[in-house]
Amino acid sequence: MTDPASDATEAVRSRLSRNGIQLNGAGRIAGVDFARGLAIIGMLAAHLLWLGDDVVLADPSTWSNIAAGRSSILFATLAGVSLGLMTGGRHPVRGSAMGVARRRIALRAALLWVLGVLLIGTGVPVYVILPAYAVLFLLALPALTLSTRVVLVLAAVLAVVMPFAQVLLDALPFWGTPIGESAALMIGWQYPFPVWIAFVLAGLGIARAGLQRRGVQVGAVLAGGALAALGYGLNAASGLAATDEWTSFAGAVWTARPHSSGLLEVIGSGGFALAVIGGCVLVCGPWWRGSVMSPAGWTVLPVRAVGAMPLSAYTAQLVIWAIAAAVILGDPSDLQGFRDLDPFWPITGVLIVAATVWALTIGRGPLEAATDRVTRVLVPGRADTTGETRLGPR
């Protein structure tokens, strides 16, 4: 006779082992999950903490300000990495497989847009990034078949040119009208696609270069660090005051203020994102004795679990916020009241624990699994040649 309790225990062990292998397997780039997890947690901090714009290395009290603006740019750059990995990485798929991939990405963009609009409807006082994500996914489709060199050059050109155009676009009277204000929310203009497509293309470029390669990882850290030093260094050396951004064209372009889309923010924060991605992949790489399958590697598992289901984690924090603020404050749009409750650590802790348990016991995040299922059913066919999934473990 079999022992039911023993069989149940063995089933649990089998599931934990299977999901652990999928999360840590050779088909995934663990550092990408880690970087996504950091981006999500950084966006939580930007939403839930009182942050300033300046980071002073000699003043630890300002270090949390790193999350302001940089987290969302890291998230956008990782979107490009995901697009590259899901279409073959260093060896992009061709022909009908690329056609299937493009249609699935377009459908995924539509689903993200709908979810983003629903989250806007909760009344939570944040600029939801998902509509911008949807637009950026669509804009990136033509670049999926370009060479690595062309993609990176295009990213660099757009990063330098578009901040100048963005100042003119932001000054259009349209955005001050009721229709313009609604349109800005619907397309995520707070993360303006004319500028932000450069971040997505940069991420696509390093994925095409082969992010699994040590040289690419080190190159991303060095090049990204140099760009960050250049952007923030020029900003510090310029001596321009914050008021200059609002009173002159030059001031609006020559700024590294978070969410300004100024030239120096694009250079500095874009470089920061590349350095973080390269660094995370290096830290989680199997060449390090802290490999993902080692005890040291498992210490980063909770953050990686959040990064394996970013859509679910991002959505969950806004839903939790809306419900908690409505119950406690009677108004989900009361930003000051909710931040004054110090919700960052409780919400972040809950999400990290929940994501870790879910990844090990169930597998893919719920929204990741749902969107993947919908796109595969509505757009049948084979689209990728890599086991790395950008929205969670299989």
* pTM for this prediction: 0.90
pLDDT of residue 394: 29
- Identity of residue 261: S
Tell me the two tokens of residue 17: 């082992």
User: Per residue in 146-175, pLDDT tens?
Assistant: 999 999 999 999 999 999 999 999 999 999
Quick check: 79 and 135 in contact, CB under 8 A? no
Report whether 192 contacts 166 (CB < 8 A).
yes
Per-residue pLDDT at 209: 96
Residue type, 214: R
How far is CA 49 from each of CA 26, 46, 309, rounded to the nearest angstrom?
37, 6, 23
Integer Cα distance of 298 and 318 in angstroms: 28
Q: Which residues of the chain have pLDDT under 70?
A: 1-27, 239, 286-297, 383-394
pLDDT value at residue 382 = 75
Residue 386 confidence (pLDDT):
44
DSSP state of 1: -
CB-count exposure of residue 111 (10 Å: 0-12, 13-18, 19+): middle
Residue 171's pLDDT is 93
CB atoms within 10 A of CB 59: 10
List the domain boundaries for the chain: 28-378
Contacts with 272 (C-beta within 8 Å, 6 or more apart), sequence order: 70, 73, 74, 224, 227, 228
Locate 191 and state its tokens. Answer: 């993360």
Distance separating alpha carbons of residues 311 and 372, to the nearest angstrom:
12
Q: How much is the pLDDT for 389?
A: 37
Residue with tokens 């299989």: 394
Question: Which tokens hold the place of 357?
Answer: 């348990």
| Residue 260 phi, psi dihedral angles, 5° rounding | -85, -25
Q: How far apart are CA 294 and CA 290, in angstroms?
A: 6
For the chain, the first-to-last Cα distance in angstroms comes to: 34
